[in-house]
Structure 1
Amino acid sequence: MNLPENFKNYSDARKSGFIKMKELKESGKKVVGVFCTYTPWELVMAAKAVPVILCASSDEAIPDAEKVLPKNLCPLIKASYGFAVSDKCPYFYFSDMILAETTCDGKKKMYEMLNELKHTHVMQLPPGKTGAMALEAWHGEMYRLKDVLEEQLGVEITKEDIKEAIKLKNRERKAMLDFFEIGKLKPTPLSGYEINTVVDSSTFTFDIEERIKDIEERTVELKREYELNFKGKPSRPRVLITGCPTGGVREKVIRQIEELGADIVGFENCCGPREKKDPVDESKDPMLALAEKYLRVNCSVMSPNPGRIEAMNEMIDDYKVDGVIEVVLQACHTFAIESDRVKNFVTKEKKIPYMCLDTDYSQSDSGQINTRVSAFIEMMQ
């Protein structure tokens, strides 16, 4: 399945984003570097700053991180720190501050070191969604962040600013969700490689209105492509990806799966509709609405985390999935522990094949992955 002729590849979009970021800084814009789907982008936007996702999806800077971090640490954490400490990530270089959350123990400790390089504000995420005072604590973290943004960036954030940011971000969520749901078509005109790349590349477009327009136009193109060239044709085995973020293993996992004969139709992870399908309630007090929305994210760092199984159940049915492949990055303990529950659910309740790929950002296991994926696709067929 080919990408459209005018599709920007990830590298080009990344380079273009670096140039745009430099221009934004030269125009006086403030920049806030972020990492995770728990980040309340709306508060950064309300501060008239540009939120930008920091580099963490390549093994390029991992050797720089391993000078001080353990080698057996999650590659995403090592990449995040390596790109920062080596100045190989222009987004970190241009950021006025960094915004992070306590999503895992490895990240928490890495953020302490990151703070020595640049002011890093860490939001204290509750360990569960339903525990005593969980919402109250997260609501308080929203106000603490608002105060820090105002102090660090020299701005005043009004309630109207937050409401407007919520409306704009909700529009972007809707555009992205419509794009993801093209994968429900059978056969799908949208490759998993494009889904994964478009999600990452879109973050290099800092004008959200422009980002919405680009995604909406691509969605229209894909619907037209389906009607003209795909509708009524035989479908390849349909795979759902779950587990850790897959940006750092895009080539050796995502591309290989599709080159070996399957279609990745959806992502039940941070690269998919997990955060997008749940808008912020625009009728409520904006700070409370933000706290409620971002506490509902179904990540394995939450204990318990039944929402992830519920979301997977829905996606398997809606996307007509034939098999599930879980990607677990080395030393990501929360997803690794949840994988047994996911396997039992997929194989025993949904009665479809499941495979777990435990990997890192290196290419050393590419051959092994190729062999295992080939056998898995045969099983689905």
Structure 2
Amino acid sequence: MINNLYVMDLPQVKSANGKALLKAEYVRFKAAVEQLTGVSVTVDSLKAAIKLVNAKRAAMLRLYQLRAADPAPISGLDALLANQVFFYDNPERFTASVNKICDELEQRIKDNTGAFPAKMPRILVSGCPQAMPNWKLPAIIETSGAVIVGEESCVGERGVRNLVDESGTTLDEMLDAIVERYFKVDCAIFTPNCDRLQHIEQMAKDYHADGVIHYGLQFCTPYLMESIPVQKALEQKHIPCLRIETDYSMEDMGQLKTRVEAFIEQLK
């Protein structure tokens, strides 16, 4: 049985009440962690943790931004691996490793050396995250004549593009800063969610994407509901969009490959 002490109630509307709810839940979570571990969260420990995670996010954002180059210096599958490791590796080791990769990518860009040839169709993947080892769609895309240059999802730029303000001097100020940072996230659980539409359009522009593939998992209702508005908004901006709805099985690989190949051919 799960103790209610560790279950968080998260807001689904970006409002003053939503912020108050999220902060109250963070305060309750802080107390639960302290009770579980016997270690108090202090001003110094929280500030150090904020700086540590900010550095990790900044390293990943650096990697994302390098993918705007043509030819793409790294494949979407390799970038996706870094996205996955982001969630469970030691933060200091991960940050150092990603910055080392970025140094190599910058050199590749200077040498005009890419993981794929220049002028290949460039795809932005939007929607549900691809959780390891379910990399079915990215593998299909990058074996069908295109390269993935960005992800607008829970394992993409959304998770790192906003840092927490480090100027707080009290626990209360730092919790407020954390709340502010997470309220900038445009996950599909929020309604209304106009920020997400604008973010997808901006990412397509920033990463020079030729088209967007919106990936929806059959059990993830919020993203499935938003997929049609996303497609309509992109098409109004003359950005080609393909909506994919699938699951974790491999049974539809052939069907998906046919649809993706046809979309890529359209982009060419």
Whether the TM-score (by the shorter chain) exceeds 0.5 is yes
2:78 corresponds to 1:194: yes
2:147 corresponds to 1:263: yes
**1:307 offset after TM fit, Å?**
1.3
CA distance in 2, matches of 1:245, 1:275: 11
2:185 corresponds to 1:300: no
**Corresponding letter in the other structure for 1:128:** V
2:101 corresponds to 1:218: yes
CA distance in 2, matches of 1:126, 1:202: 25
2:201 corresponds to 1:313: yes
Determine the structure 2 residue equivalent to 1:356.
Answer: 243
- Contact 1:196–1:250 (Cα < 8 Å) also in 2: no
Write out per-residue CA displacement over residues 96-149 of structure 1, whole angstroms, 9 at most, x where no aligned residue: xxxxxxxxxxxxxxxxx7x28xx882211111112x411111111111010000
Q: Is the partner of 1:219 in helix, strand or coil?
A: helix
Q: Of the candidates 114, 119, 125, which is equivalent to residue 10 of structure 2? A: 125
CA distance in 2, matches of 1:260, 1:202: 27
2:110 corresponds to 1:227: yes
Question: Residues 35-54 of structure 1: matches in 2 within 5 Å?
Answer: none
Question: Residues 1-381 of structure 1: matches in 2 within 5 Å?
Answer: 115=2, 121-130=6-15, 132-206=16-90, 208-230=91-113, 234-248=118-132, 250-284=134-168, 285-349=173-237, 351-381=238-268
The change in CA–CA distance for 1:120 and 1:215 in structure 2 (over 3 A counts) is farther
Please report the RMSD computed on the Cα atoms of aligned residues, expressed in angstroms. Answer: 1.7
**1:227 offset after TM fit, Å?**
2.1
CA distance in 2, matches of 1:331, 1:213: 36
Which of structure 1's runs of 4+ aligned residues deviate more than 6 A?
A: none
**Corresponding letter in the other structure for 2:152:** E
Unaligned runs of 5+ in 2: none
**Corresponding letter in the other structure for 1:153:** T
Higher relative contact order structure (alpha carbons within 8 Å, sequence separation ≥ 6): 2
**1:250 offset after TM fit, Å?**
4.3
Q: Is the partner of 2:157 in helix, strand or coil?
A: coil
Q: Is the partner of 1:184 in helix, strand or coil?
A: coil
TM-score (norm 2): 0.93
**1:202 offset after TM fit, Å?**
3.8
**Corresponding letter in the other structure for 2:108:** E
**Corresponding letter in the other structure for 1:352:** I
CA distance in 2, matches of 1:348, 1:248: 33
Identity %: 35
The change in CA–CA distance for 1:364 and 1:249 in structure 2 (over 3 A counts) is farther
Unaligned runs of 5+ in 1: 1-112
**1:204 offset after TM fit, Å?**
4.0
Instruction: Report the number of matched residues.
Output: 262
Write out per-residue CA displacement over residues 152-178 of structure 1, whole angstroms, 9 at most, x where no aligned residue: 111111122111111111111111100
